[in-house]
Amino acid sequence: MVEAEKIQLHRGLRDVYIDRTRTSFIDGREGKLLYRGYNIHDLAENSTFEEIVYLLLYGVLPTRAQLDQIDGELKASRKLPPEVSEVIRITKNAHPMDVLRTAISALSTTDSNIRDNSREAILRKGIRLTAAAPTIVATHARICAGKKPVEPNPELGHAGNFLYMHTGQVPHPEDASLMDKDFVLHAEHGINASAFAARVAASTEADLHCAITTGVAVLKGPAHGGAAESVMHMAEEIGSAENAAAYVQNRLKSGGRIVGFGHRVYKTTDPRAVHLREDARRLGERKGHPEWFAILQAVSNAMEPYAKRGICQNVDFWSGAIYHLLGIPTDLFICIFAMGRIPGWTAQVMEQAENNILLRPMLAYEGPMDLPYVPIEKRG
């Protein structure tokens, strides 16, 4: 037995490599992100989410015919089985992320491939879950608002259809394209906490629904996917750009953190935030509400001195303002992240399954040893 004090701990698994990957590459010092070798900047400017789903799942950018094929598969899986719609109704008072997690889990009860962990089955199930997630979120949001759920519209792309099912109106093309870009930017990000958790589930040979349910559960925490919602609450609390510097100073002085800043891997600006900043600015102007951008920009200016310590904007800093300006309620923000991330989790699970090893680390025990057992009637 190794003595507890001699064990080298890697708390938080910081800087620990657990495997090799061909899914995405992150250089946290340079602020570089590649999906399957392609720079996120090229993908964000030129590709649709449907192309990214294909790229992550099949490893290459699709031809036109391949894109049409996956687009058709996604559209064919948008509708929910009645059992799952019923689960959404029964759980409607829960947080949208809890409903999404529960409904994804419930989808396993109607999936004919549920026990099949072959590559082909994981691909098919990943596409089905990617397609169903926006319907779950929009259906739940409408039920909560006392409105009738809207059937998916096969004329619209994945992102535009989500906005349509949420509002009941065909979205402005620029709104649909912004939503699409947001999904592209959230689609994959290496072995973050939720992808790691999804891989742990997959490493036990649990099925994809288990792994994605796990991913959604882990994404919910404010240190991971919950930050966009917290950023919006922060912007509301600040109220106007003039108050931002004082807010930042007071918060940091009292030992608090500024949400939307800092990242375990990026020690410079998150490359995804660069796109969202510009989108938030333009969207605010187009919608006649430039105040949210102004408040966040003022927070960003106040945080500038912290950049040298590597505390920089992350993907969640601007995304909340974009969702808000698109008319999406704050408690749905994190679900948008989850909807975008399903292809990434699926790609990670496929990779885990291809070269599986049970993910099972160790804990260094430091409690008492060999205590004499005291029967219950003699315990004081």
Q: Which residues contact ligand COA (rule: CB under 6 A)?
A: 223, 227, 252, 257-264, 311, 314-316
Give the Cα-Cα-Cα angle 9, 11, 17 (nearest 5 degrees).
85
Q: Which residues are paired to 34 by β-bridges?
A: 25, 39
Task: Please give the Cα distance from 227 to 321 (Å, whole number).
Answer: 12
**How deeply is 74 buried, as exposed, middle or buried, from its count of CB atoms within 10 A (0-12, 13-18, 19+)?**
buried
The residue among 215, 221, 228, 218 whose CA lies nearest residue 129 is: 215
Active site residue 316: yes
Q: Are 345 and 218 in contact (CB under 8 A)?
A: no
Q: Give the residue with the Cβ less far from ligand COA, 220 or 263.
A: 263
Q: Give the residue with the Cβ less far from ligand COA, 157 or 260.
A: 260
- Sign of the alpha-carbon dihedral angle for 358, 363, 369, 371: negative
Active site residue 182: no
CA 358 to chain centre: 24
Q: Please, how many CA atoms are within 13 Å of residue 245, restricted to the half-sphere of its CB?
A: 5
Q: Give the residue with the Cβ less far from ligand COA, 107 or 302.
A: 302
3-state helix, strand, coil in the chain (%, to 5): 60, 5, 35
Task: Please give the Cα distance from 354 to 7 (Å, whole number).
Answer: 31
Taking the complex as a whole, the smallest distance from the CB of residue 231 to ligand COA amounts, in Å, to 7
Taking the complex as a whole, the smallest distance from the CB of residue 119 to ligand COA amounts, in Å, to 30
Task: Please give the Cα distance from 125 to 107 (Å, whole number).
Answer: 10
Of the residues 186, 270, 316, 324, only one is catalytic, namely 316
Q: Give the residue with the Cβ less far from ligand COA, 215 or 260.
A: 260
Q: Are 154 and 101 in contact (CB under 8 A)?
A: no
Q: Which two tokens stand for residue 335?
A: 């679900």
Q: Give the residue with the Cβ less far from ligand COA, 78 or 181.
A: 181
Taking the complex as a whole, the smallest distance from the CB of residue 222 to ligand COA amounts, in Å, to 6
The residue among 138, 200, 142, 183 whose CA lies nearest residue 40 is: 183
Of the residues 263, 270, 275, 324, only one is catalytic, namely 263
Taking the complex as a whole, the smallest distance from the CB of residue 230 to ligand COA amounts, in Å, to 7
Taking the complex as a whole, the smallest distance from the CB of residue 155 to ligand COA amounts, in Å, to 34
Q: Are 28 and 312 in contact (CB under 8 A)?
A: no
Collapsed DSSP state (helix, strand, coil) of residue 261? strand
- The angle, 0 to 180 degrees and rounded to 10, between the axes of the packed helices 49-58 and 158-167 is 130
Q: Give the residue with the Cβ less far from ligand COA, 167 or 300.
A: 300
Taking the complex as a whole, the smallest distance from the CB of residue 255 to ligand COA amounts, in Å, to 8
Q: Give the residue with the Cβ less far from ligand COA, 172 or 224.
A: 224
Taking the complex as a whole, the smallest distance from the CB of residue 140 to ligand COA amounts, in Å, to 24
Q: Which residue has the tokens 């792994």?
A: 211
Task: Please give the Cα distance from 250 to 88 (Å, whole number).
Answer: 41
Q: Which residue is nearest to ligand COA (CB)?
A: 262
- Active-site amino acid positions: 263, 316
